[in-house]
A and B are shown apart, each in its own frame.
Chain A
Amino acid sequence: MEKWENNKAWFLVLPAFIIVAFSAIIPLMTVVNYSIQDIFGPGQAVYVGTEWFEEMLGNHRLHDALWRQFLFSGLVLLIEIPLGILIALAMPKSGWGVSACLVTLALPLVIPWNVIGTIWIIFTRPDIGLLGVGINSLDLLEVPFDHTAKPIYAWITLLAMEIWHWTPLVALLAYAGLRAIPEAYYQAAKIDGASSWATFIYIQLPKMRGVLTIAVLLRWMDSFLIYAEPFALTGGGPGNTTTFLSIYLVKLATMQFDLGPAAAFSLIYFVIILLFSFLFYQALLNVGRGEKT
């Protein structure tokens, strides 16, 4: 539909445009500026072209952080998406149970992110935390559980926290997708003698395509960018083992003041996220589609 009201409407958008320009575009331009110059101090800038980019791409600490990040995001997606779908499938379709489930699921989503980090720190403490004390009382581990005792503990705690925090989002989206499927499809499947698994694969999953695409894209982007929770929980440790990309970048920029390399990598970071989001989107929307006659 063409909207052909007076073009005066554009002026209404101007304030929002100005704010976005101020808070996003101008800082972005600043980052680009930093990434191609070496700034010693105010007024002392030297154009270095792609030097920072080359340095960052060769930086092995960065590579480590990158692989850690991919591993983390990969695990997050692999666990959260199926778990969210399972929860959605298990939720009741009507009655008071629906509201109860929706509210319970929403609770983790409304807690501020660094508070979540703090909750989990306390939760996993070997002296006063429920989980910490619980695991240690079982006495199965050589090294007693503490979220910073061993890298593997840190990872498990981080993943558990992340999954606890965000699976509800996937579950809510999947639930909305499921509710939108007309009853007739289930009836037809029953009549065709389809098993629950076949019903899931051939009816529910394809019809949830839209919401699942949103869920995957959101979780991918957020988990790849993750900063507050791991920083609050482990500060990037023990050692570097949970130093993800954003944490490394922040360290680089604010602690080492290597603004140039940090800026350069920020841009690369941005491009990676964009690239993978695009790939996910294409894959999800087109798998099993077929040509239109």
Chain B
Amino acid sequence: MSLSLVNIDKTVAREIHLKNINFSFESGSRNVLLGRTLSGKTSLLRIMAGIDRPTKGRVLLDGKDVTRLSVRKRSVAMVYQQFINYPSFTVYKNIASPLKIAGYKKSEIDRCVRETAEMLHIEDLLDRLPADLSGGQQQRTAIARALVKDTDLLLLDEPLVNLDYKLREELRVELQQVFKKRKAIVVYTTTEPSEALMMGGNITVIDEGRVLQTGPTPDVYRSPKTFKVAEIFSDPPINCINGKIRDNTACLGHNIEFPIKDRLTALPDGNYKFGIRSHHFSLLQKDKNDTEIRTRVKLSEISGSETFIHVTYDDLPLVVREAGITPLRIGDLISIYVNPDNLFIYDEQENLVAAPQMVSN
């Protein structure tokens, strides 16, 4: 079973919410929509569900045009950011509600509800009301209600964003297990790159209503096609230094130079943007090819197992992620090193021309 969006546009009061959206999902796939707030993720989800109709374009389910089909006639379930449950129904009745509406037999309903509750570890809470539950438990109930009917399409709109950090971590792992057992098409939206990476599957990066890149998550992470994708798909933010390539030498900033080797020699001379992920910087020179950058320490943030060092190079802010704990004083002059193989190089149109080699596992 497949879901396709063809040339979807959505304009509301002359504001473009979505433009030229084209993609296709297969059954059993896990798809993440990554984008900043107001990038169009929720609008897209609503069109996929059938709650909104696009201004232009078609939605195809298994090749059939369902654009005008109302959401009630489609096989879709949706989970929202705000834990939405019927406040006067017990957990049991909440989960059972879609089955009752669909006219299932009572014994069948009971079996499905208990099975789904067990999958989400809320089988002991079936008699409680949502108001008596914690945030995590309420959201689990909402997810159970979405799963119980085994719909073709399962949409989740930033479902974990209102939960505690630790709870989010745990639920992500649980959700992955749950999704593995389903043949539904799962679409999950988020603003956090780390969540996108954890969910795996395929990713579609959206910005300002347009699809920027789509593909398997690790591939998009390792090869962001445009600089914008690299910016959106980075946490901490990706570092960027402008520079140029001339005569087989790269010059970044005003004094960082290194020779161009191997596959990079194919790049024509010109101006380029060089992107460096914060964990590719190091305080030690590990390889003789590593390039040195002299910087001044602005701030050092320790997070238990790693340190984020904020430095400035010529007033340009950079972030270095170093494993372990490295306290540094503000104002210290330090050298940071980067292996030129780890650079993301973007041309003047901000298209990717070189990326670090994919590491084979």
Contacts and interface: CB of A to CB of B under 8 A. Distances in A.
Interface string B62-76: 000000101000000
Nearest to B67: A4
Nearest to B10: A2
B178 interface: no
A103 interface: no
Nearest to A4: B53
A5 B52 contact: no
A5 B70 contact: yes
A1 interface: yes
B325 interface: no
A1 B70 contact: no
A5 B51 CA distance: 10
B65 to A, nearest CB: 15
Nearest to B51: A1
Interface string A1-31: 1101100000000000000000000000000
A2 B51 CA distance: 9
Contacts of B68: 4
Interface residues of B, number: 5
Contacts of A2: 52-53
A58 to B, nearest CB: 47
Contacts of B51: 1
Contacts of B70: 5
A2 B13 CA distance: 11
Contacts of A5: 70
Interface in B39-73: 51-53, 68, 70
A44 B70 CA distance: 58
A2 B53 CA distance: 7
A208 to B, nearest CB: 26
Interface string B203-244: 000000000000000000000000000000000000000000
B324 to A, nearest CB: 39
A1 B50 CA distance: 12
Interface string A131-169: 000000000000000000000000000000000000000
A1 B70 CA distance: 14
Nearest to B54: A2
B80 to A, nearest CB: 15
A5 to B, nearest CB: 6
Nearest to B53: A4
A185 B296 CA distance: 41
Nearest to B68: A4
A2 B11 CA distance: 11
B67 to A, nearest CB: 10
Contacts of A1: 51-52
A5 B73 CA distance: 12
A2 B68 CA distance: 12
A5 B52 CA distance: 10
A4 B52 CA distance: 8
A9 to B, nearest CB: 12
A248 B52 CA distance: 54
Nearest to B46: A1
Nearest to B70: A5
A2 B46 CA distance: 11
Nearest to A5: B70
7 contacts: A1-B51, A1-B52, A2-B52, A2-B53, A4-B53, A4-B68, A5-B70
Interface of B: 51-53, 68, 70
Closest 3 CB pairs of A and B: A4-B53, A2-B53, A2-B52
